[in-house]
């Protein structure tokens, strides 16, 4: 139990025998059996057998003599008084044997835990109890008196909640009952002081409030006690009446004050938004719980992001740095995170248009000979399933044309034109400044090919193509800059299987330089 040593065998006995218990045991020690002597010695720490022997010896030494027990002679009756009837002799008066009282403490110290069983001092909202006790200490009662007095004086009607606990030492069922009794004791005391709405709950044994057992023998109050009412103000000397306060919102002074407040709030919002954006705040692609985000290119708890902005906002170069609060930062962070989702948080679709130019120095064919340097132009309609600077899938409808010379020194001709569908995973790094994407593409169109083995005659023929490629693109500048927001450059490596109608299939490999413009 809460107040019983783990070695105690009796489930209902307090681990510490008080003086009254010791006296009761001493008084009846001479009538106990050997088994009862052993039980009392184990529970109360008192050797009743030895005490009984000492008392028996004391009684023998102080036994009353006949002279001690002889009744005093009755005085002679007064003259004329009736003769005395035979009254019984008075009983002999004996003194109680003087036996030494037990010298044990009222609450012995547990040798295993160092627990003396005493209650800790009460606080405004926490009442502490002695070991295995649900009785309020004088310190508890004083704290509850203050709480109730302030509650009643403030005219409050909010319900008060009392929660009781016990330490984990001993029997769990007993401790649960003890915790409920402690909560009941506090609730009953508050009700007696005029607090009508009091609820209570016993939470049982717990170690949550400290390793020492005393800290967990408690009952707690909520809400926080109201402040004591301030004493009435002493009237000062009568002086001139204070000037009238202008409360008209249409007055020029108040109009300016209102506008200044709005401007200061807008300035604080802009500072927060710029800082969060500059540090790359966006949804985390892995942890979608909402309590972690991408910040400075790493997964970061949202609480840490808010704390960082508030701390740096203390020195922000704005008129009212004090407006950069936890609530304000969290609100703007939420807006940015919603806007960073596909479609800016308003739609599941994020559609982009882009033109891509590619210069391909050489394409190798198997079978066949390499092509001359080629130029390729593609027009893409992209359905992005991710934020602008985030990572995710893209589905692209693409139309492209490729041109190169048939032979060195000849003029450039359009060699193929096709359209198809491309699926890619786009992985963004460095706040969207660096992008890598593996791609799969299937297209159909026409190409100039050698028909029926006529190697020197090229004719347009229906052609299908399947390709796999990898693309690395990057941009420069800051957000809001035209180049950063619209232009990316990089490299692309591709392997494709081309099937022209009436001509041999070929496996094509190339590496090209990419220039991409996004509308």
For residue range 259-304, list pLDDT tens digits in order. Answer: 899 999 999 999 999 999 999 898 887 776 778 898 998 889 999 9
When pLDDT is averaged across residues 115-131 and rounded to a whole number, the result is: 89
Token readout for 426 is: 């786009």
How open is the CA angle 272-277-282, to the nearest 5 degrees? 115
Q: 264: exposed, middle or buried (C-beta count within 10 Å: 0-12, 13-18, 19+)? A: middle
Nearest-angstrom CA–CA distance, 337 and 306: 13
pLDDT of residue 208: 92
List CB contacts of 189: < 8 A, sequence separation 6 or more.
136, 141, 144
Q: Where does 268-345 show beta strands of DSSP type E?
A: 282-283, 292-295, 298-301
pLDDT of residue 47: 57
What is the bridge-based pairing of β-strands 292-295 and 298-301? Answer: antiparallel
pLDDT in tens, 351-404: 889 999 999 998 888 887 788 888 999 999 998 887 666 778 899 999 999 888
Task: Give pairs for 328-333: CB < 8 Å, separation 24+.
Answer: 328/268, 328/269, 328/272, 329/272, 329/276, 329/305, 330/302, 330/306, 332/269, 332/272, 332/273, 332/276, 333/276, 333/281, 333/293, 333/302, 333/305, 333/306, 333/309
- The alpha-carbon radius of gyration of the chain (Å, integer) is 47
Residue positions counted in the chain: 519
pLDDT in tens, 141-170: 999 999 999 888 888 888 999 999 999 999
pLDDT of residue 203: 93
| Segment (H or E) for 267 | helix 252-278
Beta pairing partners, 202: 164
pLDDT in tens, 478-490: 776 788 788 989 9
Q: How far is CA 120 from CA 115, 131, 170, 213, in A?
A: 12, 11, 20, 10
pLDDT in tens, 35-84: 665 665 555 555 555 555 555 544 444 444 433 334 344 444 444 444 44
Hunting for tokens 């340097």 — which residue is that?
373
pLDDT of residue 305: 94
């Amino acid at each position: 139990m809460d107040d019983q040593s783990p070695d105690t065998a009796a489930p209902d006995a307090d681990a510490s025998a008080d003086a009254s218990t010791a006296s009761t045991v001493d008084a009846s020690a001479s009538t106990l059996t050997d088994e009862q002597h052993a039980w009392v010695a184990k529970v109360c720490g008192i050797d009743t057998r030895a005490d009984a022997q000492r008392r028996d010896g004391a009684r023998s030494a102080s036994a009353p003599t006949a002279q001690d027990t002889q009744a005093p002679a009755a005085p002679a009756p007064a003259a004329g008084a009736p003769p005395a009837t035979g009254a019984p002799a008075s009983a002999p008066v004996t003194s109680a044997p003087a036996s030494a009282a037990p010298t044990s403490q009222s609450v012995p110290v547990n040798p295993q835990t160092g627990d003396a069983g005493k209650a800790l001092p009460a606080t405004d909202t926490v009442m502490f109890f002695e070991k295995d006790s649900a009785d309020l200490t004088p310190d508890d009662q004083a704290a509850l008196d203050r709480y109730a007095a302030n509650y009643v004086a403030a005219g409050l009607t909010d319900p008060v909640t009392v929660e009781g606990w016990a330490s984990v030492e001993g029997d769990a069922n007993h401790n649960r009952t003890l915790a409920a009794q402690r909560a009941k004791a506090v609730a009953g005391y508050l009700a007696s002081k005029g607090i009508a709405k009091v609820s209570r709950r016993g939470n049982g044994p717990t170690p949550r409030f400290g390793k020492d057992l005393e800290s967990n023998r408690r009952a707690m109050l909520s809400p926080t006690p109201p402040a004591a009412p301030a004493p009435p103000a002493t009237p000062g000397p009568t002086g001139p009446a204070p000037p009238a306060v202008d409360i008209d919102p249409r007055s020029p002074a108040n109009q300016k004050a209102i506008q200044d407040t709005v401007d200061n709030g807008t300035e604080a919002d802009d500072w927060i938004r710029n800082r969060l954006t500059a540090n790359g705040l966006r949804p985390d692609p892995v942890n979608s719980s909402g309590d972690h985000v991408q910040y400075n290119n790493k997964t970061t708890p949202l609480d840490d992001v808010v704390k960082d902005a508030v701390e740096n906002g203390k020195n922000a170069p704005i008129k009212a740095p004090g407006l950069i609060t936890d609530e304000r930062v969290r609100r703007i962070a939420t807006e940015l995170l919603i806007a960073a989702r596909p479609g800016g948080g308003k739609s599941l679709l994020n559609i982009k248009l882009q033109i891509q130019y590619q210069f391909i120095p050489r394409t190798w064919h198997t079978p066949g000979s390499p092509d001359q340097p080629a130029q390729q132009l593609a027009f893409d309609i992209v359905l992005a399933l991710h934020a602008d600077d985030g990572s995710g899938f893209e589905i692209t409808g693409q139309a492209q044309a490729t041109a190169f010379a048939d032979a060195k020194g000849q003029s450039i001709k359009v060699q193929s034109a096709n359209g198809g569908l491309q699926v890619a995973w786009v992985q963004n790094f460095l706040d969207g400044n660096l992008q890598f994407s593996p791609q799969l593409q299937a297209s159909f169109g026409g190409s100039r090919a050698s028909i029926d083995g006529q190697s020197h005659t090229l004719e347009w023929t229906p052609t299908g193509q399947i390709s796999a490629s990898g693309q690395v693109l990057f941009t420069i500048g800051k957000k809001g800059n035209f180049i950063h927001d619209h232009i990316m450059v990089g490299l692309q490596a591709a392997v494709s299987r081309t099937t022209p109608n009436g001509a041999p299939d070929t496996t094509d490999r190339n590496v090209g330089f990419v220039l991409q413009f996004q509308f």
